[in-house]
Amino acid sequence: MKFKNVVSFNIKRVVPILGLAGATMFMGGCEKDDNGPTRDVEIRFTQKETDDLFYDDENDVRHPSILAQEYVKDPTIRTIYLVPEGTWANMDRNGIKGMRTATLDLIMNYSPKFRGKGDFNFMVGEASKIPEDSLWYVSKGWTINKRLLEQAQQNQR
């Protein structure tokens, strides 16, 4: 016994269907965009050496440094960490506030790529006198007098 299967089709419908099937073979699907940010960088600064952070123009207007501006424009950079180095132990509450308002706030507002990293070892007790500024530093990623906290924890053991 033989079965004969007859499929009727309309040539007007087959051609567009074959065309769509062929086109999907050559079209790229969801391709991953490899042009996204891929690395983090650090800008290190000390109390006396801040050239990589900012510069003052001839009118004494403060701007992010050329290096910082180039990092912001670079699409392969995800995060720019600002890392304090050296001692900051001579900074009283006025110095802490001044550094925030005159320099660091300017840099942080320049681009969302900027983030704090590392520890400021300010004069003992001075940061607690200005809680709004201390909270700002911590919210941006820095720690304040971390070594004192570590020493206190070790003494409790």
Q: Are 96 and 138 in contact (CB under 8 A)?
A: no
Q: DSSP labels for 112-155?
A: TTEEE-SEE-BSTTTGGG-HHHHHHHHHTT-EESHHHHHHHHHH
pLDDT at residue 87 is higher than 60:
yes
pLDDT at site 73: 96
Q: What is the mean pLDDT of residues 15-39?
A: 63
pLDDT band per the 50, 70, 90 thresholds, residue 2: low
pLDDT at site 59: 92
- H helices present in 9-145, as ranges: 11-26, 66-73, 93-99, 105-110, 131-139
Distance from C-alpha of 83 to C-alpha of 105, rounded to nearest angstrom: 14
* Lowest mean pLDDT, pick from 34-43, 57-66, 133-142: 34-43
